[in-house]
Structure 1
Amino acid sequence: MRSFALASVFLSLVSTAVCADESNLTKPLSSKFLLPSAFKPPQVFKNTNLVHVVNLEKSYPKESINVVIENTASSPQDEYYLPFTTRQMETIGALEVKDRKAPESGLFEVEAAEIDPESDTQYYRIRLPKPLAPKAQQTLGITYHFLSALDPLPATIQQKENQYLVYTFSAYCPSAYVTLKQKTEVKFPTTNVREHTVIPGTGKEPQSPQIQGTKYTYGSFGEVPAGAYEPVRVRYEFTKPLIHVSRLERDIEVSHWGGNLAFEERYTMTNRAANLSSGFSRTQFAQDAYYNPQSPAIKELKFPLRVGSLTPYFTDVIGNVSTSRFRSNKREANLELKPRYPVYGGWNYPFRVGWDADLKKFLRKLTTGDGYVLNAPFLEGPKQPEGVEYELVELRVILPEGATNVKYSTTVPVVSESITMHKTFMDTIGRTTLTLTSINVVDDLRDREIIVTYDYPFMAGLRKPLVIFSGVMSLFVAAWAIGSLDVAIKARSS
């Protein structure tokens, strides 16, 4: 995981800058700003009320913080710091902040900070849209998730055994400021929680957690100082796969002449679930399938595509040897894939999938000039009940040959961007290609879009027909020239 983060930092430094009128607002890892090694967030805020929610219903933990902050300084303030450990900074993804009372106002600017590398505490800096006046309050809604944060215990199980996961967090929400009142809610996928940390009550505070079905509540707690930490460890049943995509390469190819938008995705997929303690039994799997029990194996993948998608294809490293089904009508376009074997914990499954779509549904021409606007999903992929996490996503938008003035906008966090040339059949200079790299992405972001604007002059559109015409004419001229040669052997005149 750390190697991907460092690689992303390097990519961002060497990449070609791409202008964006309104790019993503969260800038993790690669866009860190430097802080002094002895930095401590100024104590200019206090949290008057905080609710921390830890959601463990999917194969990755998703956390949210709803907090009312108050400016305790004598001057307006607009920088709020959020602390995380070094390990969390490597695995955190899509940290977003909104005003809870006005979510329609959009996302706040969020940026990762870098201080002494030996320190185990790092920070995200949240910039408020407007400086908060002294004694004024504002309600923040903060959401984020962690990758590879759930560990099976035991690490190996029998094929028919249930799987249990372990997650460790703090009952006190990590904060760089004093918190007057707070509680932490934990949401489990089932009521089968084998182990959980119990915090004894003190004074007026009752023992934690309070249990209501699948929800465990730690607190509420009274005043807690900045940086306070109360470790909590939970172990719960999760009999589903932990789908982890270490690398996703997604191509979106625009063809003006064909009126087609071609998608292709190449996956390097792993199941992080508990490994099998003995060999896989196909007979046992067939017997269990009759009763359709929950299993930590990946049995199938479902791709809900955009309406109008067509001609899908699917191959793995051996070929198209898996079962697939595609349903397309006016209301849906669903592609269902079944790997040729169930993917159990620790097993890998590299494959690729692609499909076409009508370009008119994704592209429009501006009323003036030679500009075009492409609006397509940044991430699609399988939509599973247990969720899917992506360690590295590389998106390539391959535009027509001759496209210029490329700009993009997306709310998916991007750590590097570049513009290159991609040569395909009958190209001359190559097609303009916008490449974006994201890390620590989950399928909660699968409906986010990328908007790409570019100029495509009329003469650039004639480039390929002229190349084909010139090539065919050259072939005819060459054939005529060769046919006109007199290669007959004649007798030498005396």
Structure 2
Amino acid sequence: MRFLQLIYAFLSLLYVKEDISLVIALTVGTNGKKTLLKSSQMDIYDDDILYYTIALPYPVSPGSEFSLSLSAIITKQSVPYPEHIPMEKEQVLKVTTNAYPLSPYDTGNYSVALLSVTDFYELPHEDFPYSLTKGDIVNHNILYEATEKIPSDTVFDFSFTFSRNAPLTYVNYLKRDLWVSHWSSALQLEEYYEITNHGAKLDKGFSRAKYFNEKLAARQHHAITALRIPFDKSKTIQDQSIYFVDKVGNVSTSQYYNDELVLRPRFPLFGGWNYNFTIGWNYDLKQFLRQGNDEYILSAHILDGIRDTTYGKIDFSIYLPEGAELIDYSLPFAASEPDISHEYSYLDIENGHTKISFEFENIVDEMKNLELILRYKYSSYNIIQKPLFTAFYIFLALMGLYVLKKIDLSIKPTRNGKLISSEEEKVDFKK
């Protein structure tokens, strides 16, 4: 066997397993170089536990050792505590997690670190079934260390709170469209957002006077007052192409500075409040496209994204020029097969733009630099087809107009089935 498959049980508790966004496995070689390993969820039914299989790139000899690093991104684990607070009060968050490593193997040595937690408070719980010693708090970091071996599949709920006076921005739905135009050499992006602040809700109604008197807009607060979207600094956005609109119309409170777009909604978004809007911008297509004969390779980010945000559902669509044919694609993570259809746009003649749509769920901001690679065929004939057909139809329309102008559609008087001349018409008029 060229490689070893390692089975690893990861993340218990039903309310956690549904929110696993990404599992990453790394191994460190003797030279210190890290190698990304392929991990996939196993088809094993269990109410509480998910099992993953990890393929190692080399055999492991009996009695030998190797280093393996496992990471997981879990969403929606921080909840306001309490749920409703006054407008001016700082927000406290609660987290519930497993105090022990969930593994099908016994764990000899174990420690867990809680990083950057302010005003940490350990909620009351039963005694740890296997001893965990809490260290001192150093620079808002806390370390728990096990003093004994931990058996396999050990689960123990551990809850704590900490202070974080910042919004919990959650994108319920994102529609991200990329339009590829070879004639204008542009990649046009448009994103439609439906967002909710999952932070603490107000215990009373909103008072704008109190909001300004307390100067809450000028300090760190759990309401959303601005959304920051950082862009890839290696790419250049076309001048004056950025727009920001919502259901009412154009929103003027936006700023693009130092490769970051800052959006300010029409009103502060407190816990439970919603907002939807659309933004768009254009790139030079050459920054994303490579050509080889009649085949093209498009490389684009799956997500640009709002900073420090979780995404519930993403509809990601790429619109290739009319006549383009998808050959292959590559995603950095597992996803369902894309839906391929056609959609008409300006001056489309036959089938319309080739639309390739993906659906992603439970995506986090940290995944925004991952790229989709798309290979498609677009021949020289397809490139000139649209302007030729457009010119032909315009010519037909002009010729039709010319012919219509030559046809005499005027109504003239007759007598006994014959036209009356203009002179006879004048005599009859005098009579």
TM-score (norm 2): 0.88
Instruction: Call closer, same or farther: CA 1:438–1:103 in 2, change over 3 Å.
Output: farther
Distance 1:111 1:206 in 2: 31
For 2:282, the equivalent position in structure 1 comes to 356
Of 101, 124, 127, the residue aligned with 1:173 is 101
Distance 2:406 2:223 in 1: 70
For 1:377, the equivalent position in structure 2 comes to 301
For 2:10, the equivalent position in structure 1 comes to 83
Distance 1:296 1:442 in 2: 20
Instruction: Call closer, same or farther: CA 1:76–1:358 in 2, change over 3 Å.
Output: closer
- Look up the equivalent residue of 1:176 and give its one-letter code: P
For 1:409, the equivalent position in structure 2 comes to 330
Of 219, 222, 231, the residue aligned with 1:293 is 219
SS in 2 for 1:278: coil
Number of aligned positions between the proteins: 409
Deviation string, structure 1 residues 125-175 (Cα, Å, up to 9, x no partner): 222233433333322222221122211111000000011111111221111
Matches within 5 A, 1:205-354: 207-289=133-215, 292-306=218-232, 307-310=235-238, 311-327=241-257, 332-354=258-280
**Which entry has the higher C-alpha Rg, 1 or 2?**
2
Of 436, 450, 464, the residue aligned with 2:358 is 436
Distance 2:391 2:132 in 1: 83
SS in 1 for 2:16: helix
- Look up the equivalent residue of 1:493 and give its one-letter code: K
Q: CA deviation at 1:349?
A: 0.8
Asked if structure 2 preserves the Cα contact closer than 8 Å seen for 1:322 and 1:340, the reply is no
- Quote the RMSD (CA, aligned, Å): 2.6
Instruction: Call closer, same or farther: CA 1:133–1:461 in 2, change over 3 Å.
Output: same
Asked if structure 2 preserves the Cα contact closer than 8 Å seen for 1:78 and 1:131, the reply is no
Q: CA deviation at 1:465?
A: 0.3
Q: CA deviation at 1:258?
A: 0.6
- Look up the equivalent residue of 2:218 and give its one-letter code: N
- Look up the equivalent residue of 1:116 and give its one-letter code: Y
SS in 2 for 1:472: helix
For 1:396, the equivalent position in structure 2 comes to 317
Asked if structure 2 preserves the Cα contact closer than 8 Å seen for 1:180 and 1:224, the reply is yes
Matches within 5 A, 1:50-89: 77-85=4-12, 86-89=14-17
Distance 1:408 1:251 in 2: 17
Asked if structure 2 preserves the Cα contact closer than 8 Å seen for 1:76 and 1:133, the reply is no
For 1:108, the equivalent position in structure 2 comes to 37
Instruction: Call closer, same or farther: CA 1:87–1:150 in 2, change over 3 Å.
Output: same
Asked if structure 2 preserves the Cα contact closer than 8 Å seen for 1:243 and 1:271, the reply is yes
- Look up the equivalent residue of 2:78 and give its one-letter code: L
Distance 1:411 1:75 in 2: 24
Asked if structure 1 preserves the Cα contact closer than 8 Å seen for 2:341 and 2:355, the reply is yes
Of 113, 116, 129, the residue aligned with 1:188 is 116
Q: CA deviation at 1:88?
A: 2.3
Q: CA deviation at 1:77?
A: 3.6
For 2:418, the equivalent position in structure 1 comes to 493
SS in 2 for 1:463: helix
Instruction: Call closer, same or farther: CA 1:184–1:381 in 2, change over 3 Å.
Output: same
Instruction: Call closer, same or farther: CA 1:287–1:105 in 2, change over 3 Å.
Output: same
- Look up the equivalent residue of 2:376 and give its one-letter code: Y
Distance 1:103 1:262 in 2: 42
Q: CA deviation at 1:181?
A: 1.2
Instruction: Call closer, same or farther: CA 1:201–1:434 in 2, change over 3 Å.
Output: closer
Deviates more, 1:479-488 or 1:434-443: 479-488
Asked if structure 1 preserves the Cα contact closer than 8 Å seen for 2:192 and 2:277, the reply is yes
Deviation string, structure 1 residues 403-423 (Cα, Å, up to 9, x no partner): 113322232443442222121
- Look up the equivalent residue of 1:316 and give its one-letter code: D
Asked if structure 1 preserves the Cα contact closer than 8 Å seen for 2:9 and 2:49, the reply is no
Asked if structure 2 preserves the Cα contact closer than 8 Å seen for 1:254 and 1:399, the reply is yes
For 1:137, the equivalent position in structure 2 comes to 65
Asked if structure 1 preserves the Cα contact closer than 8 Å seen for 2:24 and 2:70, the reply is yes
Deviates more, 1:472-481 or 1:233-242: 472-481
> Relative CO higher for 1 or 2, CA cutoff 8 Å, sep ≥ 6?
1
For 1:469, the equivalent position in structure 2 comes to 391
Distance 1:315 1:441 in 2: 24
Q: CA deviation at 1:446?
A: 1.5
Query: Gaps spanning 5+ residues in structure 1: where?
Result: 1-73
Asked if structure 1 preserves the Cα contact closer than 8 Å seen for 2:324 and 2:378, the reply is yes
- Look up the equivalent residue of 1:79 and give its one-letter code: L
Instruction: Call closer, same or farther: CA 1:364–1:210 in 2, change over 3 Å.
Output: same
Deviation string, structure 1 residues 24-78 (Cα, Å, up to 9, x no partner): xxxxxxxxxxxxxxxxxxxxxxxxxxxxxxxxxxxxxxxxxxxxxxxxxx99742
Instruction: Call closer, same or farther: CA 1:333–1:84 in 2, change over 3 Å.
Output: closer
Could you tell me the percent identity over the aligned residues?
A: 28
